[in-house]
Amino acid sequence: MSRKTILIFAAGSLFVLGLAASTTYLCLKHFSGCQAIAPTSGGIFPAHEWANELSLTLEQKKKIEPDGASLKKDLQPIQVKLAEERIALCRLIQEEPANSKKVTDYSQRVSALEAEQQKLVINHLIVMRDIITPGQREKLFSSLMHEICMSCRKIVPGQKCLCGMCDMKGHDK
């Protein structure tokens, strides 16, 4: 393999990893329920940042809380392993010449960990979906789709609205 081919492969791999990491981060930061409450709001325990936005009842919060705690517990080791694998991958790519077989192996391991992480978040969203009301569900999933759409539009300049909600009242353009 020529040096140019390896460089193009490495750049492409980094772009895909960056895109996957950004998507995962977005989902985890905004939708996983693993946020910490700000000190001014009464504590440092994990809480759903969007709980007030959805106007969750106390009963709904109690039903969702154990799954949120479980999600956080399950995600932590995956996130640590992901960081380790990404660092190892960066070190491999940094080497000259880069070992394309090892780079591919690490890329696949990173992808598998990201898929496992996404599966956990998706399962949490399904649990939530079954607990919240139809109105809350519409608000949550509309916000999710809008955030995904806005993220895409930031990454790909000139991208048109994908969610169909960017002109909705209350959403930033």
Q: What confidence tier does 4 reach under pLDDT thresholds 50, 70, 90?
A: low
Crossing angle for the helix pair 100-131 and 134-155, to the nearest 10 degrees:
150
Which amino acid is located at 6 in the chain?
I
> Of how many residues is the chain composed?
173
| Residue 151 Cα distances to 22, 36, 111, 166, angstroms | 9, 23, 20, 12
pLDDT digits (tens, 9 = 90+) for 22-64: 555 554 554 433 333 222 333 222 234 566 678 889 999 899 9
CA separation for the pair 157, 134 (Å, rounded):
34
Q: What confidence tier does 76 reach under pLDDT thresholds 50, 70, 90?
A: very high
Q: Percent of the chain scored above 70 by pLDDT?
A: 66
In this predicted structure, which of 18-22, 54-58, 99-103, 138-142 has the lowest mean pLDDT? 18-22
Closest by Cα among 52, 33, 30 to 147: 30
Burial of residue 49 (CB within 10 Å: 0-12, 13-18, 19+) is: middle
Taking the domains of the chain in order of start, what are their residue ranges?
3-33+52-147
CB atoms near residue 29 (< 10 Å): 12
> In this model, does residue 162 exceed pLDDT 60?
yes
More confident residue, 46 or 103: 103
Average pLDDT over residues 8-35: 51
Fold exhibited by the domain 3-33+52-147: Four Helix Bundle (Hemerythrin (Met), subunit A) (1.20.120)
Average pLDDT over residues 69-82: 94
Q: Is 38 helix (H, G, I), strand (E, B) or coil?
A: coil
> In this model, does residue 124 exceed pLDDT 80?
yes
Q: What pLDDT, on the 0 to 100 scale, is given for residue 38?
A: 29
